Amino acid sequence: MRLSPAIRATLGTLLLVPFLSGCSLLFVNGPVSGWETANADDLSTFALTQPCTNSKTLSIVDGALAGLNTVYGIAIFSDKDEFEWNTDLNANFAGAMAFVWTGVLGYSAHKGNKKVNDCRAFGAHLREQRRGGAVGQASDEWLDELFPIPDFRANALFPVRSLSLNR
């Protein structure tokens, strides 16, 4: 039986998912420490030199895999004899390792989620600082020169006929 290229690509992608576990610990970057007290110029420098991760995808993958590992560990402990009969592995060891790996994945999801939330707060703080700097320095004094509009007595030179709908 030959699989179509689309099914092979989908299966290949799904087979890579277990290798993404724990990635939010390794690949999710948070903002630079001390960003809360930095000024707008330093924040811009931080954003350019050490970008952080805004996507929660890896944290969600880690959380989902932690949930699946929990179910796997419960399944092992609920039917130890069948598990040992089918796999030749010690059920207590395999179940305990499933729960240990669940802890690792859960910790990874938690830390990755915290880094992403900090990165989003950093971005909002950066936008607020940039907006505050531009708006805080702008003034509306130039409007005083234009308003009220000077009367140039244009009506005396070019009389305007009134527009009326009732003729």
Q: Which of 63, 69, 68, 74 is nearest to 107 (CA)?
A: 63
Any domain includes 41: yes
| Close Cβ partners of 96 (under 8 Å, ≥ 6 residues apart) | 73
pLDDT above 80 for 90: yes
Mean pLDDT across the chain: 76
Report pLDDT for 144.
Answer: 63
Per-residue pLDDT for 79 more than 70?
yes
The residue that leads in pLDDT, 40 or 1, is 40
Both tokens of 117, joined, read 């939330």
| pLDDT over 90 at 107, yes or no | yes
Is residue 146 a part of any domain in this protein?
yes
- Residue numbers of the domain that contains 62: 18-157
Does any domain span residue 119? yes
CB 26 within 8 A of CB 107: no
Q: Return the pLDDT at 149.
A: 63
Rounded to two decimals, the pTM is 0.62
- Higher-scoring residue by pLDDT: 119, 86: 119
Residue 108 lies in a domain: yes
The reply to whether 104 falls in a domain is yes
